[in-house]
Amino acid sequence: MGLSGLPSSPTSSTRSQTEADAAQVLRIGLMGGSFDPVHSAHVALAASALAHLQLDEVRWIPVGQAWQKARRLAPAADRVAMVQAAIAHEPRFVLDLTEVLRDGPSFTLDTVRALQAARPEVREWVLIIGLDQYLNLPTWQGWQELLQRVTLAVATREPFEPVPPEALRSHPHRMVHLPMAPQAVSSTEVRERLALGESPESLAPELISVSVARYIANHQLYASGAPL
């Protein structure tokens, strides 16, 4: 898949990792999303997963073709670059290009299959999702198989524990609660405020990191008239 500015390999890391290091990785978190743009709540969620679930790493997986979104996303190269900027401070955050380099719609099951085939030594794969995604999981492609392959880490506001939707109750699955403080930020809000003329720098560091704000400004993303 020829995406300008992206590496040719299916997986890219923000750190260099020797074979000896790889052999010691036992629990890997997966956090997918459009990241259009990546914001402070995304980073807080991944950091919480590292701390609470004792993960060896969290793989950030920007979506390629988001089959459940009607609007047009920012170019994959830009979304990847923003994620890379946002996670550079944490060596256990790893940028994964599996979906942006794969043709066709981005289905989580396909991604999990590919990663598990490539890393058979990993003991547990933890899919990090929000409560809305958990409730919507029965609409995902191949969700029954996905439940057998991963542990779900469902983020909800403390002290509320997630309640499985009816469709999931008849499908045993591993689920852990990831308590999160309320995060009043969304990619939609960031795009809307930028489209209304606010500068990217004015949104940092509360909504987006300084490095992400700088990237948005330098590449003139989400300006007035751009699709939200």
* 143 is a domain residue: yes
Q: Which residues of the chain have pLDDT under 50?
A: 1-2, 8-18, 227-228
* 208 is a domain residue: no
Residue 157: the pLDDT is: 77
* 179 is a domain residue: yes
Residue 180: the pLDDT is: 85
Gap between the Cα atoms of 79 and 140, Å rounded: 23
Going by C-alpha positions, the residue among 75, 50, 81, 90 that lies closest to residue 211 is 81
Residue 189: the pLDDT is: 96
- pTM, two decimal places: 0.87
Domain containing 76 — which CATH number?
3.40.50.620
* 136 is a domain residue: yes
Output the six-digit token pair for 81.
């670059």
| Residue pLDDT, tens place only, 103-144 | 989 999 999 999 999 999 999 999 999 999 999 999 999 999
Question: Per the structure, how many domains does the chain have?
Answer: 1
* 45 is a domain residue: yes
Residue 15: the pLDDT is: 47
Output the six-digit token pair for 203.
């949104």
* 24 is a domain residue: yes
Residue 69: the pLDDT is: 66
Instruction: Identify the domain containing residue 92 by its residue range.
Output: 19-161+170-183
* 56 is a domain residue: yes
Q: Indicate the helix (H) or strand (E) that contains 58.
A: strand 57-62
* 59 is a domain residue: yes
b/e 118-127 (16+ beta carbons within 10 angstroms → b): eeeebeebbb
| Residue pLDDT, tens place only, 96-109 | 999 999 998 999 99
Gap between the Cα atoms of 187 and 193, Å rounded: 10
- Contacts of residue 149, defined as CB under 8 A and 6 or more positions apart, other chains included, come to 109, 112, 113, 116, 125
Output the six-digit token pair for 121.
């030594």
How far is C-alpha 221 from the chain's CA centre? 20
